[in-house]
Amino acid sequence: MRILKTFYSSTFILLSALLVINCTGSTEDTDNIKFYVGSSDGSLEYSIFLCELDLRSSQFVVIDSFAGARGPSYLAFSPDRKYLYAINNEVSDPATNHKTVSSFKVDQDNNKLELMNSQSSEGAGPCHVHCSKEGTFLFTANYTSGNVVAFPISENGMIQQASSAVQSTGSGPVESRQKGPHTHYVSLDPEENYLLSPDLGSDKVLVYKFDHDSGILTPNPEQNFFKLKPGSGPRHLAFHPTGKFVYVVNELNSTLTACSYDMDNGILTALNTESTEADSYTGSKYPAAVRMHPNGKYVYASTRGDFSSIAVFRVENDGAATRIQVVKDVPEWPRDFNIEPDGSFLLVAGQRSDEIQLYRIDRKTGLLTSTEHTINVPAPACILFID
């Protein structure tokens, strides 16, 4: 594999070979699941990795890698899984000098990726992408410039020129991080009438109405934004499966805010806020990702810092979140993690330790236990399961 030539030591090559034997041997009854990993290492030519997890043995392995994007630290599928979209943080559009977003065709037989096209992100520092359920629009958040952009997608999966770009405004009290807007994430709500985007720089979750015909985003007249506590730094959010609740992870004050959500009007209302770390913890702490368990009973949030961790929250009947566990010593700087579709395992990506570690989820309690199984991937920043 190409990546072995550029990254892994000879020791790891031997370990990988052993894992391939264990994970992909001739056992027809083995239940395997594949996933892509996007690396934030912009120096890598082959920066999107295809991995495979054996759900029975809890072992996993890198099986391929693909070129076409530099620093693809977030990935998203089209709804039919025929196309994959990635931010391209080290490649600039010559006309605008902005970074780009790229589309890939997915080979349905072997999951290989083929670059199709790229478009200007229409801003600086793209950090997140999201595709609509119809597969007709792609959205991106540009962190540095603080704007959100919508792109039509053609029938063959290619990204077209932007149909809408909306600029956020505002600032916050943390001078080193909040001098201006920094949109960090984008997601349509379950009914896809509104687009929500946490803005770390202004302590807001922005709410836009989305016109499916024109692809235009406009501030929601019922609630332009949901305001969080000054200095919170909202980064990512996750919807409850019912669509009635939203969970916002805040990077600058290390908290998770639970909200009720009115899908008819696109209105967020705060329920409660919990720390992602134990109250006695005094080290550095910068939450990154938040994910909802498929059963809707638990929410998980990663925190980077002196002691990287994953926090587990129980969802109460009214949607409020109660922290029930903090797992320490996860891979260093967990910029992302993800829960496999069945809800039995959680994978943690350590951006600074160049590894991904597997944790087992107790489906009755939501609590995590490490399997101790890891694989090495350079600067993993996004995990995307192939359903």
Phi/psi for 127 (5° steps) reads -135, -10
Element spanning 384, H or E = strand 380-385
Measuring CA to CA, which residue among 140, 133, 105, 134 is closest to residue 119?
A: 140
- In whole angstroms, give the CA distance from residue 20 to residue 4: 14
Q: Residue with structure tokens 């943390």?
A: 174
Give the pLDDT confidence of 149-163 residue by residue, as tens digits.
Answer: 999 999 999 999 999
Q: Distances from the Cα of 242 to the Cαs of 19, 249, 295, in angstroms?
A: 39, 19, 10
Least confident of 24-38, 97-111, 178-192, 360-374: 24-38
> Has residue 9 got a pLDDT over 50?
no
> Has residue 243 got a pLDDT over 50?
yes
Q: Residue with structure tokens 């056992």?
A: 27
> Has residue 238 got a pLDDT over 60?
yes
Q: Distances from the Cα of 94 to the Cαs of 19, 99, 212, in angstroms?
A: 43, 9, 29
Residues 62 and 24 sit within 8 Å (Cβ to Cβ): no
Q: Tokens at residue 66, please?
A: 């693909």
- In whole angstroms, give the CA distance from residue 250 to residue 273: 10
- Reduced to 3 states, what is the DSSP secondary structure of residue 268? strand
Phi/psi for 99 (5° steps) reads -70, 175
Give me the torsion for CA of 297, 307, 130, 3, rounded to 10°: -120
Bin 236: left if φ > 0, else alpha if -120 < ψ < 50, else beta. beta
- In whole angstroms, give the CA distance from residue 40 to residue 343: 26
Percent residues over pLDDT 70 in the chain = 91
Phi/psi for 386 (5° steps) reads -100, 105
Residues 184 and 200 sit within 8 Å (Cβ to Cβ): yes
Measuring CA to CA, which residue among 216, 200, 104, 222 is closest to residue 159?
A: 104
Percent residues over pLDDT 90 in the chain = 87
pTM of the predicted structure, to 2 decimals: 0.92
> Has residue 6 got a pLDDT over 80?
no
Mention every residue, 6+ apart, whose C-beta is less than 8 A from residue 232. 203, 250, 252, 253, 255, 257
- In whole angstroms, give the CA distance from residue 367 to residue 383: 20
pLDDT of the residue at 30: 52
> Has residue 56 got a pLDDT over 80?
yes
Give the pLDDT confidence of 331-357 residue by residue, as tens digits.
Answer: 999 999 999 999 999 999 999 999 999
- In whole angstroms, give the CA distance from residue 207 to residue 194: 7
Q: Residue 260 gets which letter from DSSP? A: E
Residues 72 and 120 sit within 8 Å (Cβ to Cβ): no
Q: Tokens at residue 321, please?
A: 């979140």
Average pLDDT over residues 15-21: 40
> Has residue 25 got a pLDDT over 50?
no
- Reduced to 3 states, what is the DSSP secondary structure of residue 271? strand
Give the pLDDT confidence of 265-285 residue by residue, as tens digits.
Answer: 999 999 999 999 988 888 899
> Has residue 29 got a pLDDT over 70?
no
Residue type at 90? E
pLDDT of the residue at 98: 79
Question: At 1, is the pLDDT very low, low, confident or very high (cuts 50, 70, 90)?
Answer: very low
Query: What DSSP assignment string belongs to 321-370?
Result: EEEEEEEESPSSSEEEEEE-TTSSEEEEEETTTTEEEEEEE-TTT--EEE
pLDDT of the residue at 176: 97
pLDDT of the residue at 28: 40
